[in-house]
Amino acid sequence: MSSALQESSLSPHYQCVRCGNCCRWPGDVHVTEKEVETIAAYLQMPVNEFIQTSTRLNANRTGLSIIDKPNGECLFLQGVNVCRIQAVKPVQCAGFPNVWNFPGWREKCEAVEVTPDQA
């Protein structure tokens, strides 16, 4: 997932169809300290173990991101489109593409445009 965060003022709303594409492109998936604790608890793993096995320094070295697999996809992507931590996924994941996005995002994301009263 791209780290080129950009505030979005999109209208209309885009509804995720869970294609999994945003979990497959390389880049930082930021996790806050609180998210680290929440995800570790969800995985029933000590926080330190989670940090050691599932995170790395993000590109600008200001915090932690989820590790990428060698092919660039997120460590927690299972199969084509299943997030193993869906119930506690980071805010960055939940916010794309409506809260933030990046130039060219529409070419990669299959989300469906919905009118405000459908959103």
Tell me which residues touch ligand SF4 (CB under 6 A): 1, 16-23, 29, 66, 74, 76-77, 83, 85, 89-90, 93, 96-97, 109-111
- The residue (of 46 and 106) whose beta carbon lies closer to ligand SF4 is 106
Q: How far is the CB of 48 from ligand SF4 (least distance, A)?
A: 20
Nearer Cβ to ligand SF4, position 48 or 111?
111
Looking at the Cβ atoms of 57 and 99, the one nearer to ligand SF4 is 99
Distance of CA 56 to the CA centre of its chain: 15
Residue 88 and residue 39 in contact, taking contact as beta carbons nearer than 8 Å: yes
Single-letter residue type at 97: P
Read off φ and ψ for residue 56, nearest 5 degrees: -145, 170
| Closest distance to ligand SF4 from the beta carbon of 86 (Å) | 6
Closest approach, Cβ 98 to ligand SF4, in A, equals 9
Burial of residue 93 (number of CB atoms within 10 Å: 0-12, 13-18, 19+): buried
Residue 12 neighbours by CB under 8 Å, 6+ apart: 113, 114, 115, 116, 119
Q: How far is the CB of 110 from ligand SF4 (least distance, A)?
A: 4
User: Would you say 40 or 89 has its CB closer to ligand SF4?
Assistant: 89
